[in-house]
Structure 1
Amino acid sequence: MAKVYIAFWSGTGNTGIMAEAIAEGVTAAGGTPEFVDVESVSADTLKDTKAFALGCPSMGAEQLEESAMEPFVQEVEAFASGKQIALFGSYGWGDGEWMRDWTDRMKSAGASVVDGEGLIAHETPDDDVKADCVRLGKTLAQLAQ
């Protein structure tokens, strides 16, 4: 079984709901989901994995959370080349610019973003978004083999 890391930060719990659904998909595909708290672990935890997920909601003027997630992502950029990274998160305003920027950033670092773009939910993830998260988790489990 492949271990699939799901590293995320969630302020209101909406991105956490998405992480749980991704974990459900990983499990359904025979993988083992491993949650990573970006506030208490180094990004080096992900360094030796082929595929993993990063999640963060949109904050402020459509940006990543600055105190924990942004430094974590900066660490990931240093070893992202050749990795398969799934990006996900929720937002309450704007049009998803933070996710487009984050996707471009990971691609510029040499990563392949799973599905070519991040998965976003407006506010609380609905059933369709949860289903997309489960599908994303299944894909990650296959990529992590």
Structure 2
Amino acid sequence: MSKIAVIYWSGTGNTAMMASEIAAGIGADAEVFSVDAFSGSVADYDKIAFGCSAMGDEVLEEAEFDPFYTSIEGDLKGKKIALFGSYGWGDGKWMRDWEERAQRSGANVFDEGLIICGAPDADGKAACKEYGEKFAAY
């Protein structure tokens, strides 16, 4: 059994909903944390799914999430990670930039980051759950 964390930031609740569905797909091994509640070490987890909404000009949230991610980025080398988040505009540039950044840090990035425009509907929730199932098997 793998120890898997789901760590996210959500401004409107959309990415929080995604985190919950992804964790449901992962199953009992998932531990879910909002970024401000995570006080552990990424080294304690075999896999981590990171979630953050697109903000501003399609960037990671700058007050909480990006500083957190920057602080643990050096610990991601060789770590299996997944990326997800919601957006309200743009074409997913923040996710492509984030994937590239994670790969440069040496992380083993699972699949493409999962993005959903706005709140996940029934199909979006199903996609999140499936993403979690596949990440757990990764």
TM-score scaled by structure 2? 0.92
Match 2:88 to one of 87, 92, 96: 92
Q: Distance in 1 between matches of 2:71 and 2:46?
A: 16
Dislocated runs of 4+, deviation >6 Å: none
* Match of residue 25 from structure 2: 25
May I ask how many residue pairs the two structures share in their alignment? 138
Normalising by structure 1, what TM-score?
0.88
Q: Is the 8 A contact 1:14 1:124 kept in 2?
A: yes
Q: Deviations over 1:105-145 (max 9, x none)?
A: 00000011111x210000111223222211221123234xx
Shift of 1:46: 1.6
Determine if the alignment matches structure 1 residue 137 to structure 2 residue 129: no
SS of residue paired to 1:110: coil
Residues 86, 136 of structure 1: 8 Å contact kept: no
Specify which of 31, 47, 50 is matched with residue 34 of structure 1. Answer: 31
1:25-52, Cα deviation, whole Å (9 max, x unpaired): 011xxx322112211334x522232211
In 2: Cα distance, 1:119 partner to 1:102 partner: 12
- Distance in 2, Cα, partners of 1:19 & 1:41: 14
Equivalent AA in structure 2 for residue 54 of structure 1? F
Match of 2:65 among 51, 66, 69: 69
Task: Note if 1:83 corresponds to 2:79.
Answer: yes
CA RMSD of aligned residues (A): 1.5
Percent of paired sites with the same residue: 48
Give yes or no for contact 1:55–1:89 (8 Å, CA) kept in 2: yes
